[in-house]
């Protein structure tokens, strides 16, 4: 379609040339043949109509296809993000990821659309126009091409600068996006501490930096584009001087000179398109390289080649586990055995490594030393998906999606019926509170569950884990926001529900697992002691101290 448009544009000046030469020729003896002029006029009109139709189709096909490319690329990128490990998201800002998915994707899409069109025209239309011009007049064509080497040099010089400038703009945009996300997420804290004005100033500073980098980019582009246009116009001036003389000397007809001017008008676009292509291409190239860097990120935790998909029964053993981060040890010499169907508690001071135990079992992190055994099998022999499919996990941070209560609970088991959702909420001791809501289970909880209290969010997260009917249930400080009576009700419900299910409760409140089969006490990354509640009161000073303090609080 694009080729058809270009060829139609090149034929039109020849028709104009024939018409002008016919008009200016001496026909005094025979008079003018108006039917000939009518045919030429209709031909030019037909070409204009064809150009319009073909231009519509190439725009729809090429620009439309660029949106499909963007969609596919976004899907690839999003799926890739889902495979990355926890460590990647710990070191990468959300604002950076948002910039990848928005600004960088737009730049790549533009390179795939207008970049291809302008690039193709810069080559094909220029070459085809040059052939038409050479056929018309070789000498005049050579004069017209004198500014071309200068245009090529200008483009090459500015392309390198554009790449660096645009990459800097994209990085600045990522910082700005991250600041907006952080501000919106922490708006309550900002308002509570009366920090609106300082935050506004910080944002203004980042906006100013982003503006300055964009202005710097615009200056480069604004310098390159007029320079290319200037040298393109120089070609037209040369045509007027040399071609005018040829017409006076009868070496060139008036129609041919007019056609030559038309061709110079056509060839001027490819010349100037070089600058546009350079700009769009360098923007797209800078963004594409940023996206490739993200796609080259590999998950730090992957399945071994020989791993099998085998659901767990509930036996867990940690042997000689050592885990450190940035050279600091957080877990040392952890030896822990949890048998199928046991009700186990893990307690300790803040920062003693309790949550790391849960993440190790879930294979969110992996130990630097030691081994994990699932049902007496080395953890590397079982696929990560099988491990996580077998576990119901409630993390410390209660996260809910901006969906209904029913959808949030069903997230743990997408095919679950409403009856299963209700049953899970009963075990989590939140069913009665849901019934009191106007929309009940169809109530939309808002972003991150903003319409619910902390305790309600925790219990919905618990219901989401319970509905999976897992072989292993891990609650990581999942009842910290509920009152004592509700906690007791949930514990009673769990004791009935979790018959035969391995249950691990990580908590600083000992009331959560006083009747546990076994309790592990952690202290500074090591297991200080283990045993039942009564045994630990006798042999663990840390456990006894925590218990006495909590009894006094009660």
Give the separation between CA 109 and CA 117, rounded to whole angstroms.
12
Tell me if 385 sits within 8 A of 392, measured CB to CB: no
Give the separation between CA 86 and CA 88, rounded to whole angstroms.
5
Q: What mean pLDDT comes out for the span 233-246?
A: 81
**Mind listing the pLDDT tens digit for each residue in 442-462?**
888 877 777 777 888 888 888
The pLDDT value recorded for residue 28 is 43
Q: Which residues contact 298 (CB under 8 A, 6 or more apart)?
A: none
Domains detected in the chain:
2-295 (1.20.1560.10)
Give the separation between CA 242 and CA 249, rounded to whole angstroms.
11
Q: Measured between alpha carbons, how far is residue 380 from residues 309, 323, 383, 384, 394 in Å?
A: 11, 17, 7, 9, 24
**Mind listing the pLDDT tens digit for each residue in 142-192?**
887 787 777 777 777 777 787 778 778 878 887 888 888 778 777 777 877
Tell me if 354 sits within 8 A of 523, measured CB to CB: no
Tell me if 463 sits within 8 A of 425, measured CB to CB: yes
The pLDDT value recorded for residue 53 is 92
Residue 238 exposure: Cα atoms within 13 Å on the Cβ side:
17
Q: 3-state DSSP call for residue 372?
A: strand
Residue 22 has pLDDT above 80, yes or no: no
Instruction: Tell me how many degrees the CA angle 425-430-432 measures, rounded to the nearest 5.
Output: 105
**Mind listing the pLDDT tens digit for each residue in 327-374?**
788 888 888 888 888 888 888 888 788 888 888 888 888 888 888 898
187 or 418, which is more confident? Answer: 418
Strands (E), 176-315: none
The helix or strand, by DSSP H or E, that contains position 324, with its residue range, turns out to be strand 316-325
The pLDDT value recorded for residue 49 is 92
Q: 3-state DSSP call for residue 300?
A: coil
Residue 472 exposure: Cα atoms within 13 Å on the Cβ side:
25
Tell me if 478 sits within 8 A of 461, measured CB to CB: yes
Tell me if 430 sits within 8 A of 440, measured CB to CB: no
Q: What mean pLDDT comes out for the span 387-391?
A: 87
**Mind listing the pLDDT tens digit for each residue in 466-476?**
888 888 888 88
Residue 419 token pair = 């009856």
Out of 200-204, 261-265, 288-292, 417-421, pick the least confident: 261-265
Tell me if 180 sits within 8 A of 200, measured CB to CB: no
Out of 11-15, 232-236, 253-257, pick the least confident: 232-236
Residue 400 exposure: Cα atoms within 13 Å on the Cβ side:
31
pLDDT over 90, % of the chain: 1
Beta bridge partners of 527: 522
The pLDDT value recorded for residue 29 is 43
Block residue for tokens 């998915």: 101
Q: Report residue 549: phi and psi, to 5°.
A: -60, -45
Tell me if 369 sits within 8 A of 320, measured CB to CB: yes
Q: Report residue 317: phi and psi, to 5°.
A: -135, 125
Per-residue DSSP letter, 382: B
Instruction: Tell me how many degrees the CA angle 392-301-414 measures, rounded to the nearest 5.
Output: 35
Residue 477 exposure: Cα atoms within 13 Å on the Cβ side:
17
Residues in the chain: 554
Give the separation between CA 522 and CA 208, rounded to whole angstroms.
50
Q: Which residues contact 364 (CB under 8 A, 6 or more apart)?
A: 85, 86, 301
Residue 272 has pLDDT above 70, yes or no: no
């Amino acid at each position: 379609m694009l080729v058809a448009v270009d060829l139609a544009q090149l034929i039109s000046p020849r028709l104009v040339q024939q018409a002008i030469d016919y008009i200016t020729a001496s026909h005094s003896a025979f008079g003018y043949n108006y039917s000939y002029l009518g045919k030429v006029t209709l031909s030019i009109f037909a070409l204009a109509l064809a150009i319009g139709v073909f231009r519509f189709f190439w725009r729809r096909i090429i620009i439309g296809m660029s949106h499909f490319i963007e969609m596919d690329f976004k899907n690839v990128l999003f799926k890739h993000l889902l495979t990355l490990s926890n460590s990647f998201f710990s070191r990468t800002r959300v604002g950076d990821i948002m910039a990848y998915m928005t600004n960088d994707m737009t730049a790549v899409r533009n390179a795939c659309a207008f970049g291809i069109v302008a690039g193709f025209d810069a080559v094909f239309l220029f070459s085809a126009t040059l052939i038409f011009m050479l056929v018309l007049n070789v000498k005049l064509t050579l004069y017209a091409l004198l500014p071309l080497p200068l245009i090529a040099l200008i483009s090459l010089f500015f392309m390198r600068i554009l790449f660096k400038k645009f990459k800097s703009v994209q990085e600045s945009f990522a910082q700005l996006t991250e600041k907006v996300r952080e501000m919106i997420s922490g708006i309550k804290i900002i308002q509570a501490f009366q920090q609106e004005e300082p935050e506004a100033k910080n944002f203004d500073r980042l906006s100013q930096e982003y503006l300055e980098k964009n202005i710097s980019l615009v200056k480069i582009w604004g310098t390159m584009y007029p320079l290319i246009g200037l040298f393109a116009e120089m070609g037209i001036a040369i045509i007027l001087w040399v071609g005018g003389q040829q017409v006076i000397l009868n070496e060139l007809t008036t129609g041919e000179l007019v056609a030559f001017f038309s061709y110079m008008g056509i060839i001027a676009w490819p010349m100037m398109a070089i600058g546009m292509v350079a700009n769009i291409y360098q923007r797209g190239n800078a963004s594409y390289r940023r996206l490739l860097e993200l796609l080259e990120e590999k998950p730090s935790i992957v399945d071994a080649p020989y791993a099998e998909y085998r659901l767990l029964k509930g036996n867990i053993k940690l042997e000689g586990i050592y885990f450190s981060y940035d050279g600091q040890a957080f877990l040392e010499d952890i030896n822990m055995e949890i048998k199928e169907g046991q009700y186990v508690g893990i307690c300790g001071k803040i920062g003693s490594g309790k949550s790391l135990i849960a993440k190790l079992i879930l294979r969110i992190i992996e130990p630097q030393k030691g081994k994990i055994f699932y049902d007496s099998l080395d953890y590397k022999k079982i696929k990560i998906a099988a491990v996580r499919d077998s576990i119901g996990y409630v993390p410390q941070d209660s996260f809910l999606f901006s969906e209904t209560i029913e959808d949030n609970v069903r997230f743990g088991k997408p095919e679950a019926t409403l009856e299963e959702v209700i049953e899970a909420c009963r075990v989590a001791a939140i069913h009665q509170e849901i019934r009191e809501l106007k929309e009940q289970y169809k109530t939309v909880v808002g972003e991150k569950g903003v319409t619910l209290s902390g305790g309600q969010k925790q219990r919905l997260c618990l219901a989401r884990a319970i509905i999976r009917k897992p072989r292993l249930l891990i609650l990581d400080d999942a009842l910290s926001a509920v009152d004592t009576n509700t906690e007791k009700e949930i514990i009673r419900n769990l004791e009935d529900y979790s018959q035969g299910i391995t249950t691990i409760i990580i908590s600083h409140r000992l009331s959560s697992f006083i009747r546990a089969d076994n309790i592990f006490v952690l202290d500074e990354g090591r297991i200080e002691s283990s045993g039942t509640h009564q045994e630990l009161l006798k042999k663990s000073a840390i456990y006894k101290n925590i218990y006495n303090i909590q009894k006094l609080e009660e």
